[in-house]
Structure 1
Amino acid sequence: MKKTAVLITLFILPIVAYLFFASGVNNFGRLPVLTDTIDVKSLSANDIALENKITILGFLGSDIASRRGNMFNLNQKIYKRFHEFQDFQFVMVVSEGLQDQVDDLKKEIGHLGGTEKWNFAFMTENMITELFNSLKTDITLNENQSTPFVFIVDKEAKLRGRNKDEEDGVVFGFDTSSVAELNNKMVDDVKIILAEYRLALKKNNADR
C-alpha cells in the first residue's frame, strides 16, 4: 500500500494537475471583448496601426510631465516583462506640439531599458476625444485629455478586459498609478491574451 501511495504521489498526481491546468487555459483562458470596434483612423495619420498587434493603449494628452511616474511603473511592470513578444506594442496618445517633451520622456524611459516598442501618436483635442470615446468605457479623460488608465487592445482592434472581476465588476482599463493593480491584474490579463494568440497560432499550424 505504501509503494502504491508513493507511486500515485510521484507520478499520477502531477499528471492530473497538469491536465487540470492545461484544460483551464484552453477553456477559460480568453480575455473578454468589451468593445467590438475602436475608431483607429486618427492613429493611421501617425503611421501607427493597432491591427495585427497586441497593444497597450494610453492617453497622456498634455500631462506628460505629471504622468512620468505612471509611465515608469508601466515600463517596469509590463513593458520589460512582455516587450520581446513580436506582436506586442505600446501606443501613447499625446497632444499635438509636445514632441520635445515626448523625446525627453523616451530618453528617461530608455535609461531603464529599450523603447523600440513605445509609440507616441500626436493628435488634436478632437481626435483624442474621438478615439477615447470609441473605447466606450466608464473612465473619463481629464481637462488635459489624459488618464492614468491604460487599455489592452487585441489584434482585431477590439478592447479587452474583465467583465466579472471580483472587486470591480467590469474592468475596462488598468490604473498605472497603482503598482499593485499592474502586478495583480494587468500582468495576468496580458499573459492571457498572449497565450490566447499563441494557442491559436499553434492550432492553425497543426491544422495545416
Structure 2
Amino acid sequence: MAFIIIMMLSKDNYNPLDIVNKNVKELPNNEENISLKNHITLLAFFGKNPLQHSVAALNLKELVYDRTKGFKKFQVVVLLPKEAKAEAEQLLKQIKSYEDLRFWHFVYADDADIKSVYNSLKTHEPLSASLSTNSVFIVDKDRYQRGRLDDRTKKEIEEKKPSYPLYGYDCIAVSELKNKLAAEDMRVLFKEYRDKRTGKFEGSTTRRADDLKN
C-alpha cells in the first residue's frame, strides 16, 4: 500500500509537507526502547482512560495505519500514563482484529514526562486533565513536527481569508484523517523521504516554520 501511495505522486509536482516546529522532545525512556528519532511517527495521547478513545483509535488504525504501515520507519506511538496499561491492552484487543500492529506502540510514562512531550508540540489545544487529546501529530525522522502553515481551502484563498495553520489532525473527524492526513500529507511526506533516498529531493523548496510570522 505504501508503494502505491508513493507512485500516485511520482509524476506530480508537489510541495514538501511544512515543518511547523523543530523542537519536539524525544520520548522518555521506555521498556521497548521506542523513540521518535529516525522514524516517521504519528504521535497520539489517549490519557488515563484510553478506552474512552476507542473511536479515535479505530479511525486512526483503519484510515491511516492500515494504509501506511508498509513504509519503512513508519510507526504510530500512543503516549500513556503507566496507570492506563490495563485499559490500553483492552483497547489494543478491540482494534487489532487480524491486522498486523507491530508498528503500533503504546509507550507508558510518568505524567510529567507526557506533559513535557506534549508541551514541546505546537498545538492550539491544551492536554486534558486526563492527559488526552483527540489530535494526532506528525513527527519526522529529525523530530520535527510536520503539518500545514496554511490550511485554507481554495475558496478561502480566493476570498482572501486570513491564513491559519494545521498542527494536529482530529482523530474523530473521519474526513480530516482520510483526506488530509492519509491521502495528502502522509503520502507527500513519504514521497519526500523516497526522493531523499534517491537524491531527487530539492531541500531548498521546503517551507520552514521559520517563515511563520509570530
Corresponding residue number in structure 1 for 2:151: 165
The 4+ residue runs of structure 1 with deviation greater than 3 A are none
2:124 to 111, 133, 138: 138
- Does residue 126 of structure 1 match 2:112? yes
Following TM superposition, by how much is the alpha carbon of 1:23 offset from its aligned partner in structure 2, in angstroms? 5.8
Q: CA deviation at 1:98?
A: 2.0
**Is 1:174 equivalent to 2:169 in the alignment?**
yes
Tell me the number of residue pairs that the alignment of Structure 1 and Structure 2 aligns: 180
Q: Which has the higher contact order (CA 8 A, sep 6+)?
A: 2
Cα deviation, residue 112, structure 1: 5.2
* Aligned twin of 2:30: 45
Match of 2:93 in 1: 107
1:109/1:115 contact within 8 Å kept: no
Which of 182, 188, 191 in structure 1 is aligned with 2:187? 191
The residue aligned with 1:202 is 198
Match of 2:57 among 64, 71, 76: 71
Which amino acid is 1:39 matched to?
A: K
**Does the 8 Å CA contact 2:47/2:80 hold for their aligned counterparts?**
yes
C-alpha distance in 2 between matches for 1:23 and 1:112: 35
- The CA distance in 1 between the partners of 2:149 and 2:27, in whole Å, is 27
Larger Rg: 1 or 2?
1
Which position in structure 2 is the counterpart of 1:150?
136
- Residue 109 and residue 23 in structure 1: after superposition, are their counterparts in 2 closer, same or farther (change >3 A)? closer
Distance in 2 of aligned mates of 1:85 and 1:156 = 17
Of the structure 1 ranges 46-55 and 143-152, higher mean CA displacement relative to structure 2 is found in 46-55
Unaligned residue ranges in structure 1 (runs of 5+): 1-20
Cα distance change of structure 1 residues 82 and 23 upon mapping to structure 2, 3 Å threshold:
closer
Q: Where do 5+ consecutive residues of structure 2 fail to align? A: 1-9, 154-162, 201-214
**Could you tell me the TM-score, scaled by structure 2's length?**
0.79
How many angstroms apart in 2 are the aligned matches of 1:199 and 1:165? 24
Distance 1:127 1:85 in 2: 29
- The whole-number CA distance in structure 2 between the counterparts of 1:131 and 1:137 is 12
Q: Deviations over 1:126-171 (max 9, x none)?
A: 1111110011322211110100000000000110000011157200
Tell me the CA shift for residue 22 of structure 1. 3.5
Calculate the TM-score normalised by the size of structure 1.
0.82
- Give the whole-Å Cα distance in 2 for the aligned partners of 1:165 and 1:128: 28
1:45 maps to amino acid: N
For residues 169 and 136 of structure 1, the distance between their equivalents in structure 2, rounded to whole angstroms, comes to 13
Mapped contact 1:152–1:159 kept (Cα < 8 A):
yes
Matches of 2:59 and 2:167, distance apart in 1: 19
**Take 1:113 and 1:119, find their aligned partners in 2: how far apart are those partners?**
14
